[in-house]
Structures are given as C-alpha cells and as structure tokens.
C-alpha cells in the first residue's frame, strides 16, 4: 500500500472557519474522510502544526519511507528556507499545494521559498488541490 503524508502548516487547523470566502467552509477533517474514500488503496496520513520546526520534524520522519508528501506550508511557503532545506534533505517527493490561487492574491504570496525543492506545485483548486496532488504522486 502506498503511503502519502499530508502536512498542513500554520492556521490551516482553522479551515472551515478561517476566511471561508478564500478557503471554503469545510474543515480539513471532513475533507480527509472524502479523500480517503477516493483513494481506498492509499494510506493517507495527516499532520498539522502551526510550528515551523514541527513541520520540518515530520518531513524528516516520513521523508525516507513514504511514497509522497503533500505539503501546504501556509505562510511559511513564502518565508522558510529551513523548509526548503528539509525538502531537499529527504528522498520522498514533495508536492507543494495551496487551496487558493496564490498568484491572484497579494504579491508576497507570489513567491515560494519551497517550490524549487518540490516535485511540483498545485494551487487554486480549493481543497481539490490535495486530491490532484495525490493523483500526481501515485502516478509516479
Ligand atoms: C495558503 C496560501 C498562503 O499564502 C497562506 O498563507 C495560507 C494558505 C493556501 O492554501 O491557499 O495560509 O497556503
């Protein structure tokens, strides 16, 4: 069974309640149930933290064993060289995802410190961005 680790960064624990006009009204836990039904043959593990170092620890923990990591690093996307280094340090391919189309938003969101280290980037499809990322990873 393929193992995919989803990692959500800061403020994504508030999905469903946080700026629903931008991020939607569904919690990630609810979406995760759907996602697991769509991919019954994939083990989908989920981790969320608001702490940069904990995101790095999780990447280290799974990043030599799992078949893929789907990472929404939230605002750390735009700032974190440490996350870029962690992605480069492991062998598991990482897909950067965003719920919103960051390129239609403020200019500071147009820059990703992690994209260059990732296998690919998916953004702008709402929570469906995660499903598209898993599809891409299991086709590898
Ligand atoms: C986000 C986009 C980021 O710019 C923002 O800081 C987030 C969420 C997204 O999923 O659209 O926290 O990663």
**Model confidence over 32-80: pLDDT tens digits?**
999 999 999 999 999 999 999 999 999 999 999 999 999 999 999 999 9
**Alpha-carbon separation of residue 123 from 1, 42, 89, 133 (angstroms):** 27, 22, 24, 10
Domain region containing 51: 2-138
Number of domains, the chain = 1
Give 140's pLDDT tier (boundaries 50, 70, 90).
Answer: confident
For residue 11, the model assigns a pLDDT of 98
Q: Is the pLDDT of residue 7 over 90?
A: yes
Q: Is the dihedral of CA 70, 50, 61, 77 positive or negative?
A: positive
**122 to 4, 67, 96, 135: CA distances (angstroms):** 16, 18, 6, 11
**Closest ligand 1 atom to 9 CA:** 12
Buried b / exposed e over 16-34, threshold 16 CB at 10 Å, is eeeeeeebbeeebeebbee
DSSP states of 76-133 as a string? GGGT-HHHHHHHHHSSS-EEEEESS-GGGS-GGGG--SSGGGSSEEEESSTTHHHHHH
pLDDT of 82 strictly over 90: yes
pLDDT tens string 34-45 = 999 999 999 999
pLDDT of residue 1: 86
> What CATH number is given to the structural domain containing 75?
3.40.50.9100
Please tell me what DSSP assigns to residue 5.
Answer: E
Mutation pick for ligand 1 pocket among 20, 73, 76, 98 (CB with most ligand atoms within 8 Å) = 98
Out of 49, 50, 74, give the residue to mutate to test ligand 1, the one with the largest number of ligand atoms within 8 Å of its CB: 74
Q: What is the mean pLDDT of residues 84-113?
A: 98
């Amino acid at each position: 069974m393929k193992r995919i680790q989803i990692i959500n960064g800061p403020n994504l624990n508030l999905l469903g309640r946080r700026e629903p006009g931008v991020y939607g009204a569904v919690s990630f836990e609810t979406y995760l149930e759907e996602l697991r039904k769509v991919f019954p043959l994939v083990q989908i593990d989920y981790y969320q933290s608001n702490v940069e170092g904990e995101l790095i620890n999780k990447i280290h923990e799974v990043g030599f064993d799992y078949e893929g990591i789907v990472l929404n690093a939230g605002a750390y996307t735009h700032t974190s060289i440490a996350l870029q280094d962690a992605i480069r340090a492991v062998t598991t391919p990482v897909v950067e995802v965003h719920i919103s189309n960051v390129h239609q938003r403020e200019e500071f969101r147009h820059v990703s410190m992690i994209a260059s280290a990732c296998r690919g980037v998916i953004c702008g499809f709402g929570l469906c961005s995660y499903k598209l990322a898993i599809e891409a990873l299991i086709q590898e």
